[in-house]
Amino acid sequence: MGKFFAVVLVLVAVLSAYPIIGNYFPLPEDISTHGHLIDSQLHDTMLEAGVAFIGAQLVLAYFLFAFTGRKSDAPLKNFPGGAKLMVIAAFLLVGTEVLALGAFGQKAWATVYFTAPKADALQIQSQAEQFAFYFRYPGPDGKFGAIHPDKIDEGNQNYFGLDPANDVDARDDIVSGELVVPVNREVNLMLHAKDFGHSFYVRELRIQQDFVPGLDLAVHFTATKVGKYEIVCTQLCGLGHYNMKAYLNVKSQDDYDKWLKEQSQ
Amino acid sequence: MHETSVEPVHVHAPPQGFWRKHVFSLDHKVIGKQYYALALVAVFTGMFLSWLMRIHMVWPDAKIHGLELLSKNGAPGGVMTPEYYLSLLTMHGTLMVFFVLTNAPFAAFGNYFLPIQIGAEDMAFPRFNMMSFWTTFLAWFVLMLAFVIPDGPPIAGWTEYTPLSAVGRDAGPGMQWGASLWGISIAIFCIASLLGALNFIATTLDLRAKGMTLMRMPLCTWAWFITSCIALLAFAVLLPACILLILDRHAGTSFFIPGGLVASDRLQPHSGGSPLLWQHLFWFFGHPEVYIAILPSMGIVSHILINSMRKPLLSAKVVIYSMMSIGFLSYMVWGHHMFVSGMNPLSSLTFSFPTLTITIPATILTLIWLGSLYGARIQLTSASLFAIGFISMFVSGGISGFFLAQPSLDIYLHGTYFVVGHFHMVMGVASLFGVFAGTYFWFPKMTGRYMNETIGKLHFWITFIGTYLIFMPMHYLGLIGNVRRYQSFVDDYMSPYLWLHKDMTVAALITGAAQFLFLYNVIYSRFKGAPAPENPWNCTSLEWSIPSPPPWNNFGDRHPIVYHDPYQYGVKGSQGDFVMQDSPEQIIASGD
Amino acid sequence: MASTVAPAVQSAPRLGSRNGAVPVSFVGSSADRASRSGIWVGIFAISMSFAAFSSALFVRQGTPDWTHIVMPSVLYLNTLLLLASGVTLEISRRSLTAATLIESDHARRARIWLLATFALGIAFCAGQYIAWQQLRAAGFYLATNPNSSFFYVLTFIHVLHVLVGVAAIVYLLGRLMASHSTFRRSLFENTAVYWHFIGVLWIYLFLLCLVKL
Amino acid sequence: MQMKPAVITGFALLAASAVALAGPSGGTVTGKVTYEGTPAKMKPIDMSKEPSCAKMYTTPPMAETVVTGASNSLENVVVYVSAGIPDDAAPSTAATFTQKGCRYIPHLLAFQVNQELKIINDDQTSHNIHPLPKINREWNKSQPPGTPPIVEKYDKPEFIPVKCNVHPWMHGTFAVLKNSHYAVTGDGGSFSLANLPPGKYTITAWHESYGDQSQDVTISGTESKTITFVFKAKPY
């Protein structure tokens, strides 16, 4: 039984590691300027965690193999070094690992959250609601119209509750269901929640940030590759959560300008 | 003052009549069994819900015949609606976390064995003890009501994030009365758990038998004691949170609801509340809750390992201190659930360090367990199989914590199946393995009969392998950015990976089915199992020094006096290679 | 001691046991020690809950819609009542410690002061009710603004705790009144501890509502 | 007043016979609904979030809050007899409300109190129907593809906004009316209320964003009257 258990554990270790080593579940391609930091951090962590995982399972397997079904008079031995060794090992191995991951790993975090967007970053506002994202561009005047929750009229495509009748800034605001951005241009995305908590997640951008009602947050990123990518909600927001998505459409500067012109007509 | 009271002292009179004996019993053993039964009902309900969810997830249009009987609106014509999927998800999480992972390893086994293992006749406050079970039962009943009300169960997940959970009807189906029932149920559950924790602590501190020093307490007693200290803080914080939530829902207050929200085309009449406040209060409870679930299993597993290795752990002290530091650290890490929820990015870093640090005591524990196996005489019973399976599971699930503890990786992995795989393995299955191990181990003591070993081993192999087949792939899917809590994967991005989800569903169905072997084994053995002696596993702790099943007052009129710690294995004892805690004989090391 | 056949829980020396034995120095049985640590653990848990409430209040005070309301004047009176009740309970406890027999003057005095404590406790609850009325009269309801919300929540939950204490006092009175009954002193001690705790708790809550940080 | 019931039953009989004969018995009110001023410019609906629906259109469909036609005609206006005629029993036929291409067909559905309302999902995606009544009972149900139609009833007259919680742009209206004398203006904004027995009526026209207007008409014999409603349109 012990031998069988050992075999099973070896299989578990090997088969669990196989898809990772064989890279059968590759990360989606990274189209952001900061993503490579996250990816390399993920890679390092995977290496350390993987070694620990396989190591532990194999040791467990070996001990089971060696020390089950022994005769009742078989001598009992203690692991050389005993508990002291274990404690020291844990502190050294894990401690250093913790420090390494903790200290160096924060670079990616810092680039996302501790660096302010450049002054010329493209300002876009995103509103999350049950169950869609809408995006607002300030239009030619470069000013966003104020949001009036009582003016929201979705049947009439007024998702943000703008008041063009009285608010000049709002008249030229461009509202789109698709996040269209120019390539290689930093975007500062302001997140506004209309009803509940939502989250902005673009796998390829390596960006995830919650929309918190009553608390307008912002994320900034630079998309480096033209194409269409999925924006999904990762914060449970109600019955349509699974279907709450939009598309990030990265265009060349020219196409972007063209699109913007079409929209403002 | 005289040494010990000589004349028989009973905390309560011998139970008379059916109601006192079996229903409103003051006997900690009966109460423990009641907790266990409740957990058993809850775990099978929860498992059934997970079946429905997994089936619907991979075959969204499938007609599940008879489901429309469970809920007319939730499954018109047997096809599950998106909101009903979320209802099941919420109920699955709530049932499993509160009524299984808190009740089974902690309340059930703790109630039954903590007093016996410290040589006490009963809990310090038997009436509180009875109350805390029946309050828990009430909480469960209130939660179950959500299934039968027309509105249906809530859809906001077991974390009930505000404002989704706070605005009521406009948040969607199930959020009008279902969510209220949830809040009330959890508030009641908090009160019950506080009573229980109070009882555990007082009992451990003051009702220990003569000679039972703290360091002579078995490791599972230690685990239950530490857990009750954690629970005392955790539930004391969740209770106010639930009260405020209920007020927001029904009294028009705005603790968690900010102004200017428009839901279902209606401007919500609230202002100024803070959704993050709920998240902080909830996770201040929520993270320690993870350790409330896992620590008792660590204790149980250590206790069983020592017995089936026939040798002590490398160091029991280190295990105790590790469990303590885990309990202590568990209060400094709650923020790691909120890395991307708009918390100050700096505090994310300050939360990530203790989170990474908590892996040190966890690693120490693992190394101690592993290292102790070296040079042992391991006997593989169903109990020890599950105990060793626990180690494997704890490693596999715990390792992925490395990833999630780092804010920079959490940016990518948060809210994906990576998280689901992680916590299901480490706090769900691992601590359930502890419960299984405990059941196979203590069943002879509780009923006077053995459980069937063949069925037990079969149960273990299917469960062990099945668990890996279900939850390991979740990590892979998380790495490709598979978002959790989706009722189906409508986006083309996920379609290439649906086959894997289908396989996981099949694995889940098989593994779930195997649990009926366990259920059968429990029920069959209860009545037809082979009769067990007083101390079938040659174990040293006090519960094995009394008849199986124990009499209503545990030790009769005897007042056990403890002479040894419970780790006296591999010695020359009068009864074999061990010496009971309460036997006055000298320890003679076996010659080797 | 061995001769007395006491119902329910055996424990430390009892007043009014049949032979009217004079209690030796207070010796707690394990049950007494348990209930003592029980009360402290309970106090710890309650404090933890109110700490949670407080943190919520601090967060909420930071939000712009917070308007600080003037506390009803009756609260000052209530505070005095509760403090006084603490004193009377202390006197009662002291004289009971000095008491040897249930029929002694000490015991009688203990009874009277305990009765006073009970009255003051009830008066406090009534006073809190009046405070709520005053606040409603001033147009501040539970949902009027965050400050009033917190005030009602905190005071109401505190009053619930006071009522638990009152119930305990009633029970003690019952035991003390009935002669020839056994009396467990540790119960009295614990009730006193609890009662002083809710007194302190009230001072804290009152200050919490009074001052804005 | 003793004879009122008699009168009512009389009217009821008349109406009933009118329906039964299905011939032009009684008078008719015909007319046209128009607007003056500049109505808000309807924007195209952005369905990019729901590809299964978006691909059903070559050019994105327009919002239907204000639908205008040639010569200032106004569509989706309910014209009904608001006073002067007794309530009718609901017809046995069900009023059908279809979700197709992530839009409501029709955008405005008029039916009678207690008439059966049948809601069908023709899309490959799961819809949610959430009518927001003020006086009737509120419900909120999802309808995955391939599930049976949702059948409901309303027991009080009301204009009920309907929304889909899953697709924010999907908005429609239920016009629940007391009697069978109503019409919804289509292309050209014209309407016709037939089979009106002689009498004095109040005719009301209701539009979801322009509100309602009423006119009194008196019908004698089988004459047919023509009336027009003119709504004030606002650019925003």
Question: Which residues, including other chains, have CB under 8 Å from residue A261's CB and lie 6 or more apart?
Answer: none
Please classify residue D71 by burial: count the beta carbons closer than 10 Å to its beta carbon, then call 0-12 exposed, 13-18 middle and 19+ buried: exposed
Q: Is residue B253 part of a domain?
A: yes
- In this predicted structure, what is the pLDDT of residue C17? 39
Residue B95 lies in a domain: yes
**Rounded Cα–Cα distance for residues B391 and B429 (Å):** 11
CA A168 to chain centre: 37
Give chain B's end-to-end CA distance (angstroms, integer).
Answer: 46
Distance CA C112, CA C92 (A): 8
Chain centroid, CA B537 distance in Å: 25
The residues spanned by each domain of chain C are 30-210
DSSP string for residues in B18-79? HIIIIIS---HHHHHHHHHHHHHHHHHHHHHHHHHHHHHHHSTT---TTHHHH-TTTSGGGP
Q: What is the mean pLDDT of chain B?
A: 93
Q: Please report, rounded to a whole number, the percentage of residues in chain B having pLDDT higher than 70.
A: 97
Tokens of A104: 């160096």
The tokens for B113 are 């064995």
- Which subunits count as partners of chain D given 3+ CB pairs below 8 Å? A, B
Task: Name the nearest CA neighbour of A138 among A166, A110, A108, A176.
Answer: A176
Distance from CA of D55 to the nearest CA of B (A): 15
Per the domain annotation, does A13 fall within a domain? yes
Is residue A196 within 8 Å of B263, Cβ to Cβ?
A: yes
Residue of D188, D216, D232 lying closest to D29 (CA atoms): D216
Q: What number of other Cβ atoms are within 10 A of residue B148's Cβ? A: 10
Return the DSSP state at B494: T
pLDDT tens profile A156-165: 888 999 998 8
Q: Do A134 and A240 reside in the same domain of the chain?
A: yes
The CA distance from D87 to the nearest CA of chain B, in Å, is: 32
pLDDT of residue C5: 33
Average pLDDT over residues D187-212: 91
A185 vs C8: CA distance, rounded Å: 80
DSSP tally for chain B: helices H, then strands E = 19, 2
Task: Show the tokens assigned to A174.
Answer: 């461009």
- pLDDT for D4: 47
Residues of A (156-185) whose Cβ lies below 8 Å from B: 161
**Partner-chain contact B480 A25, CB within 8 Å:** yes
Which member of B198, B205, B251 has the closest CB to residue C45? B198
Dump pLDDT digits (tens) for A89-128: 999 988 888 777 777 777 888 888 888 899 999 999 999 9
A106-113 and A35-67 helices, crossing angle to 10°: 150
Residues contacting residue D135 through CB under 8 Å, at least 6 positions apart: D156, D158
Cis peptide before B163 (omega within 30 of 0): yes
What is the C-alpha separation between B64 and B82, in angstroms, rounded? 14
Closest CA to B41 of B126, B136, B150, B123: B136
Q: Report ipTM (2 d.p.).
A: 0.90
Segment D26-37, tens digit of pLDDT: 889 999 999 998
Residue B581 maps to a domain: yes
Within the 106-135 window of chain D, which residues sit less than 8 Å (CB to CB) from chain B?
Answer: 125-126, 128, 130, 132
CA–CA distance from B370 to each of A67, A82, A204, B384 (Å)? 12, 11, 40, 14
Q: Cα separations (Å) of B320 from A191, B116, B221, B298, B364?
A: 46, 20, 10, 10, 11
Give the pLDDT score at C16: 40
Count structural domains, chain B. Answer: 2
Beta carbons of D140 and B76 less than 8 Å apart: no
User: Using CB atoms within 10 A of its CB, is residue B429 exposed (0-12), middle (13-18) or buried (19+)?
Assistant: buried
- In whole angstroms, what is the distance from residue B517 CA to residue B511 CA? 10
Whole-number percent of chain A with pLDDT over 90: 75
Q: Which D residues 138-177 touch B at CB under 8 Å?
A: 138, 140-148, 150, 161, 163, 165-166
| Residue B59 pLDDT class (50, 70, 90 cuts) | very high
Count CB neighbours of B14 within 10 A: 11
Amino acid sitting at position A250? V
| pLDDT score for C179 | 60
Tokens 């290679």 appear where?
Answer: B577
DSSP string, B529-543: SPB--S-TT---SGG
| Rounded-to-integer distance, Cα D165 and Cα B83, Å | 11
pLDDT on residue C10: 38
Which residues of A lie closer than 8 Å to D, measured between beta carbons?
A: 129-133, 153-157, 159, 163-165, 176-178, 238-240, 243-247
Flag whether pLDDT at C104 surpasses 80: no
A265 contact residues in D (CB cutoff 8 A): none
* Chains C and B, touching by 3 or more CB pairs within 8 angstroms: yes
- Residue at A73 is within a domain: no
D77's tokens: 């206006």
Q: Are B135 and B195 a contacting pair, CB within 8 Å?
A: yes
Which band of pLDDT confidence, cut at 50, 70 and 90, is reported for residue A240?
very high
DSSP string, B361-422: HHHHHHHHHHHHHTT--B---HHHHHHHHHHHHHHHHHHTHHHHTSHHHHHHHTTBHHHHHH
Contacts of D161 in chain A (CB under 8 A): 155
Half-sphere CA count of B527, side-chain side, radius 13 A: 3
Mean pLDDT confidence for B560-583 = 92
The verdict on a CB contact (< 8 Å) between A132 and D163 is: no
Nearest to A25 among B310, B479, B487 (CB): B479
Domain residues for the domain of D36 are 4-232
Q: Report pLDDT digits (tens) over A30-64.
A: 999 999 999 999 999 999 899 999 999 999 999 99
Domain end point (choices B258, B281, B303): B258
Confidence check: pLDDT of C3 > 70: no
Q: What is the mean pLDDT of chain D?
A: 87
Give the list of residues 6+ apart from residue B117 with CB closer than 8 angstroms, or none: B217, B218, B220, B221, B541, B542, B543
Does residue B106 register a pLDDT over 90?
Answer: yes
- Average pLDDT along chain A: 92
Q: Is residue A74 part of a domain?
A: no
What part of A 13-72 touches B (C-beta under 8 Å)?
16, 19-20, 24-28, 37-38, 41-42, 45-46, 48-49, 52-53, 56-57, 59-60, 63-64, 67-72
Contacts of B171 (CB under 8 A, 6+ apart): A196, A238, B155, B156, B163, B164, B165, B179, B263
Query: Is B11 touching C (CB cutoff 8 A)?
Result: yes
A72 belongs to a structural domain: no
Residues belonging to chain B with any Cβ–Cβ distance to chain D shorter than 8 Å: 60-61, 73, 76-77, 79-83, 169, 172-173, 264-266, 490
| Contact predicate B105/B300, CB 8 Å | yes
Which of C35, C197, C187 has its CA nearest to residue C96?
C187
Closest by alpha carbon to C146, among C48, C68, C70, C75? Answer: C68
Tell me the average pLDDT across B372-393.
Answer: 96
Q: Which one-letter amino acid corresponds to residue A201? A: Y
Instruction: Classify A245 as helix, strand or coil.
Output: strand
User: Are the C-beta atoms of B273 and C57 separated by less than 8 Å?
Assistant: no
Residue B430 covered by a domain: no
What confidence category does residue C14 fall into, taking pLDDT thresholds of 50, 70 and 90?
A: very low
Tell me the helices (H) and strands (E) count for chain D, helix number first: 2, 16
Q: What residues contact residue B154 under an 8 Å CB cut-off, 6+ apart? A: B87, B90, B146, B160, B165, B174, B175, B178, B179, B181, B182
Please give the pLDDT value at position D19. 45
Structural domain of B126: 31-258
Summarize pLDDT for C31-85 with one digit per residue, the tens.
788 889 999 999 999 999 999 999 999 999 988 888 888 899 999 999 999 999 9
Model confidence band, residue D6 (pLDDT cutoffs 50, 70, 90) = very low
Residues on chain A touching B340 (C-beta within 8 angstroms): 199, 208-210
For the cut 80, the answer to whether the pLDDT of residue B528 exceeds it is yes
Sign of the four-CA dihedral D173, D174, D176, D180: positive
- The two beta strands, B262-263 and B266-267, are antiparallel
B79: nearest CB among D146, D150, D163 = D146
C-alpha pair distances (Å), A170 with each of A47, A148, B360, B466, B584: 52, 11, 55, 57, 88
Please give the distance of CA B289 from its chain centroid, rounded to a whole number.
8
Mean pLDDT value of segment B367-395: 96
Quick one: A102 and A135 in the same domain?
no
The stretch B442-454 carries a mean pLDDT of 97
The pLDDT tens digits of the residues spanning C165-206 come to: 999 999 999 888 776 556 677 888 999 999 999 999 999 999
* CATH number for D202: 2.60.40.420
* Chain D contact probe: residue of B169, B262, B490 with most D CBs at under 10 A: B490
Q: How many domains, in total, are found in chain A? A: 2
Alpha-carbon span C151 to C206, nearest angstrom: 9
C30-210: CATH topology is Four Helix Bundle (Hemerythrin (Met), subunit A) (1.20.120)
Residues of B in contact with D163 (CB under 8 A): 264-265
Above pLDDT 90, what percent of chain B? 84
Dihedral (Cα; B432, B434, B436, B440), 10-degree rounding: -170
Domain extent at residue A91: 2-67+80-113
Contact C56 B277 (CB under 8 A): yes
Residue numbers in A near B314 (CB within 8 A): 78-79, 82-83, 86
* Pair of tokens at residue D28: 């008719």
B265/D145 CB distance under 8 A = no
Q: Please say whether the beta carbons of D38 and D32 come within 8 A.
A: no
The CA distance from B74 to the nearest CA of chain D, in Å, is 8
Structure tokens that stand for B358 in this block:
């908590």
A141 and A237 housed in the same domain = yes
Q: How far is CA C34 from CA A178, B205, B556, C11, C29, in A?
A: 65, 7, 21, 11, 9
pLDDT for C21 equals 37
Contact assessment for residue C139 and residue B265, using Cβ atoms and an 8 Å cutoff: no
Q: Is residue B102 part of a domain?
A: yes
* Residue B97 included in any domain: yes
Residue D146, token pair as written in the block: 């391939």
3-state secondary structure of A158: strand
Q: What's the order of all strands across the beta sheet hosting D108-112?
A: D108-112, D171-177, D158-163, D127-131, D141-143
Cβ within 8 Å of residue A142, ≥6 positions away: none
- Verify that A60 and A147 share a domain, yes or no: no
The answer to whether the CB of B445 falls within 8 A of the CB of B550 is yes
Nearest CB to D147; choose among B76, B173, B264: B76
